[in-house]
Structure 1
Amino acid sequence: MTAEILINVSPREVRAALVEEGVLQEIFIERSNRRGLISNIYKGRVSRVLPGMQAAFIDIGLERTAFLHASDIVHPAVGENGQPDEPVEQGATQQIQQLVTEGGEILVQVLKDPLGTKGARLTTFITIPSRYLVYMPKGRGIGISARIEDEAERHRLREAASMFVQDNEAGGYIVRTAAEGASPEALRADMLFLQKLWTVLCEKAAMTRPGNLVHEDLPLAVRVLRDVVSSGVDKVSVDHEDTFQRMREFARTFMPDMTDRIELYDGDRPIFDLYGIEDEIRKSLDRKVPLKSGGYLMFDQTEAMTTIDVNTGAYVGHRTLEETIFRTNLEAAVAIARQLRLRNLGGIIIVDFIDMEEEEHRRQVLQALEKALVGDHAKNHISSVSPLGLVEMTRKRTRESLEHMLCSSCPTCEGRGFVKTTETVCYEIFREILRQSRQFQFQELMVLAHQDVIERLLDEESAALAELEVHTGKPIRLQTEALYQQDQYDVVLM
């Protein structure tokens, strides 16, 4: 299987696309004014302790206080992977008021970004990742990624990592999937780097005031190299010179085998046009997903869960009704797995496959869904078919879904539908200006758009607009169109 990663950098936004066999599988988006917080380390202050919820609210300097549950607080004695050395009897869990006190200072790491009205989820069990390892300063022992299935390789990696860990040494390690085939010297180099980084973090934390950032995770482009790129990725293309140089420098230091696979894209066509990625992103915001056979899926995302309905649509089959339903469900299972990754849907997911009478057909459809989800980077769990014929599953939710990232509730339909945010439209306008400037000759550009979009271009995005004027060497005029909807615009060449 061939895989490629495309990275598009624009003035205020970085996007990375994972493409397998020419098909978009995952999209990652990071905006300069709303960077993800996952893995960031903060020095917080306990603002409120809630014994009834066994949790505390921690002020880490964000708009909303973050949430810390008692189960996410490291106990005095932890073993491998952060689990207690001895099992805790039911009802014997330490109370939250014994672990933290109001007004106290605490070093925490973000587990989940703020989602909707909920604040960030925190933990005191800090983990620091590198290319091959995850360092657990408050853990102990050596853990191996469950994705490494070969027992001989698991044993080799455990032995190699254990060679460099002293019995009295604080902290433990998890060997990541990317370490499969790595040499002992590479693991040792990662260990030394992580230990030095933790020492620096401790020194910085001691001098940091509560409510401030202590350590920020890598930017998206470099983070994709560390977390997503594996030996199966044939090429990484990036369309920005500075980002390209930074990625090459990171690769030379931590993953030299990938250095030659990182390329600077300087083609006239926008990089995301290579595989129709812009169209795929647009389609992933629709409720309805057509299947090649003529059937279709319907996605409905709510705060509590996501529901997916499978329908035969125009597909009438060639044999029996049961065979038609079975074929539609098989195709839907593969499409659902891809859409979950592409839309970054998490939490509780209910799939309503078309009812099948034969038990063997139900088993094969579940098996197809499980197989299609093997490549998913997010942890997922599929339950058996419920008495109502529904497939219940969960997928780990750490960041906002694609829909929540790119869209806001429509004021016209009071939240029953979505339109693109003014921010998203502005970035689309920027990309359209760059596209036009590469293909056509003109004296000046005129942008026609909704009033809210024009106001944002003149206010928050004025600096980026000025950068585009310098880049194109031509003036850009703005004009409000009263009849345009928020996500409508035109870029006119003059």
Structure 2
Amino acid sequence: MSEEILVNVTPRETRVAVVENGMLQELHIERGWRRGVVGNIYKGRVQRVMPGMQAAFVELGLERAAFLHANDVVRPAPVDAGQTEDAPPQPISTPSIVELLRDGQEIVVQVVKDPIGTKGARLTTQISIPSRYLVLLPQSRTVGVSARIEDEAERLRLKTLVSDLSASHGGHGYIVRTNAEGQPAEALAEDIAYLSRVWNVVERRGREAAAGTIIYEDLSLPLRAVRDLIRRDVEKVRVDSRDTYDRLQAFVAKYMPVLAEKIELYAGDRPIFDLYGVEDEIGRALDKQVPLKSGGYLVIDQTEAMTTIDVNTGSFLGQRNLEETVYRTNLEAAQAVARQLRLRNLGGIIIIDFIDMTDPEHRRQVLRTLEKSLSRDHAKTTVYDFSPLGLVEMTRKRTVESLERQLSETCPQCSGRGSVKTAETVTYEVFREITRAVRQFDAARLLVIASPKVVARITEEESAAVAELEEFLGKTIRFQADEQYLQEQFDVVLL
């Protein structure tokens, strides 16, 4: 599989696109005035402890106070008299938040989820700091290995190696990332030394900094992309900015010199995203409907509670029978759904309504195709079996806003409903408002200002009704069209 990473830089916005076999799979956006805060570590102050929510609000110096749940507060595990250091920790219940935190307390926290909508950032005191091959867990002693490294001999080698290296650098815990597979001891030793230096700085700043201060900031988007997204099958990282290219070269020279040859400066006249068709794909990623090659299509609806995805056959008639047609459409849809989740960065609860299938083996194959297609997703996903209603429920970890909510805002015409009242409905609302106004206030004449479409309907199709209303009320009613008025807007003015 051919994969490239494209970095497009403009003065106030940086975009990173992951393209696999010529198709856009992921898009990451960072704007200068609104950089994400996930991964940043702050010295915060507890603003308010909420016992009923088992949580606290913490002031970080951001626009809104952040949210810290009791489950995300590190606490020392109790040690039984006969328990050895190597024994597995005994499960303990979460103490009350009032036992863990108090109002006004200063605390070092890390952001695990950006502010989304009206919600503040989500926090944890369980600090983790990533590098190229490892994730440092300074409050743990455990070494874990990514589940995507499947070779048992390699897993054992990495775990043993990192455990031995960790012992000489404070004995901290680590997660071995997928990128570490096949890496020599020297590369992992460099990562551990780097992470130890970073943690020493974080500890010192945590003691000295004032509350509401950032004490560790994650890398900028281009550097994070190189650190987190490059895998063995990534052929090139193409950058259209000389300054960003130089910074990437300096970064990889210091931390991952073997990747230096993969970083390439793009100096073509045509914009890099246009060259790869990324701009068109971004536009399509904002549409509700996603066409499938077979003629079927997906309909994606994102709501506050969940995202629903409906699969339809459309014009696809198939070659044999209805069941075969449905099966083929669902197989294609399963792959398309996995891609759209990554591209649109949809998270939380996701409900997929595949077309009904009667053959249990077809259901298993569709589910297997979905899980396989999700295997390349960087976000954690969990897929459940078909429900009795034929729906597939799944979750995808969300740390930042979806692509739609990063690039779009609520429609002023419909206020986010996705539809507006018909001109006929608004016409009868106007009539009711006229009657209400005349009964409340004394006026000889009335002026109604509304959108051109509503005024046209009233003066043409409802002219007889207007005449009846004028006779009934004993008032003269005049109508005025205004292009500035939306279809549902109108004003009744007493003259």
Q: Equivalent residue of 2:94, what SS?
A: coil
Check the 8 A contact 1:77/1:85 in 2, yes or no: no
Residue matched to 1:442: none
Greater shift in the superposed pair: 398-407 or 409-418: 409-418
Read off the aligned partner of 1:281 and give its amino acid letter.
I
Distance in 1, matches of 2:418 and 2:260, equals 44
Check the 8 A contact 1:112/1:122 in 2, yes or no: yes
CA positional deviation for 1:19:
0.6
* 1:59-208 equivalence runs, <5 A: 59-77=59-77, 86-89=89-92, 92-166=93-167, 169-208=170-209
* 1:60-459 equivalence runs, <5 A: 60-77=60-77, 86-89=89-92, 92-166=93-167, 169-417=170-418
Distance in 1, matches of 2:313 and 2:170, equals 60
Q: Equivalent residue of 2:34, what SS?
A: coil
CA positional deviation for 1:87:
2.8
Check the 8 A contact 1:147/1:177 in 2, yes or no: yes
Q: Equivalent residue of 1:173, what SS?
A: strand
Distance in 2, matches of 1:355 and 1:390, equals 9
Residue matched to 2:31: 31
CA positional deviation for 1:167:
8.2
Distance in 2, matches of 1:168 and 1:258, equals 26
Check 1:168–1:99 CA distance in 2 against 1; reply closer, same or farther (3 A cut). farther
Greater shift in the superposed pair: 193-202 or 374-383: 193-202
Residue matched to 1:427: none
Read off the aligned partner of 2:310 and give its amino acid letter.
D
Distance in 2, matches of 1:237 and 1:100, equals 47
Check the 8 A contact 2:166/2:192 in 1, yes or no: no
Q: Equivalent residue of 2:282, what SS?
A: helix
Distance in 2, matches of 1:44 and 1:216, equals 14
Distance in 1, matches of 2:88 and 2:169, equals 16
CA positional deviation for 1:135:
0.8
- Deviations for 1:352-380, whole angstroms, at most 9, x for unmatched residues? 00001111111111011011111000000
CA positional deviation for 1:94:
1.5
Q: Equivalent residue of 1:389, what SS?
A: coil
Q: State yes or no: 1:5 paired with 2:8.
A: no
CA positional deviation for 1:86:
2.2
Check the 8 A contact 2:2/2:233 in 1, yes or no: yes
Check the 8 A contact 1:409/1:417 in 2, yes or no: no
Residue matched to 2:467: none
Q: Equivalent residue of 1:68, what SS?
A: strand
Read off the aligned partner of 1:330 and give its amino acid letter.
L
Check the 8 A contact 1:308/1:351 in 2, yes or no: yes
Q: Equivalent residue of 1:119, what SS?
A: coil
- Structure 1 unmatched ranges of 5 or more: 419-481, 486-494
CA positional deviation for 1:417:
4.3
- Structure 2 unmatched ranges of 5 or more: 80-86, 420-482, 487-495
Read off the aligned partner of 2:261 and give its amino acid letter.
D
- Deviations for 1:169-192, whole angstroms, at most 9, x for unmatched residues? 342111111111111111111111
- TM-score normalised to the size of structure 1? 0.82
Q: Equivalent residue of 1:409, what SS?
A: coil
Q: Equivalent residue of 2:260, what SS?
A: helix
Read off the aligned partner of 2:91 and give its amino acid letter.
V
CA positional deviation for 1:88:
2.5
- Deviations for 1:370-397, whole angstroms, at most 9, x for unmatched residues? 1111100000000011111100000001
Check 1:396–1:217 CA distance in 2 against 1; reply closer, same or farther (3 A cut). same
Distance in 2, matches of 1:393 and 1:152, equals 32
Check the 8 A contact 2:46/2:59 in 1, yes or no: yes
Read off the aligned partner of 1:9 and give its amino acid letter.
V
Residue matched to 1:453: none
Larger radius of gyration: 2
- TM-score normalised to the size of structure 2? 0.82
Check the 8 A contact 1:138/1:170 in 2, yes or no: no
Distance in 2, matches of 1:369 and 1:417, equals 29
Q: Equivalent residue of 1:146, what SS?
A: coil
Distance in 2, matches of 1:325 and 1:168, equals 57
Distance in 2, matches of 1:225 and 1:168, equals 26
Distance in 2, matches of 1:399 and 1:101, equals 29
Check the 8 A contact 2:169/2:192 in 1, yes or no: no
CA RMSD of aligned residues (A): 1.9
Distance in 2, matches of 1:318 and 1:192, equals 61
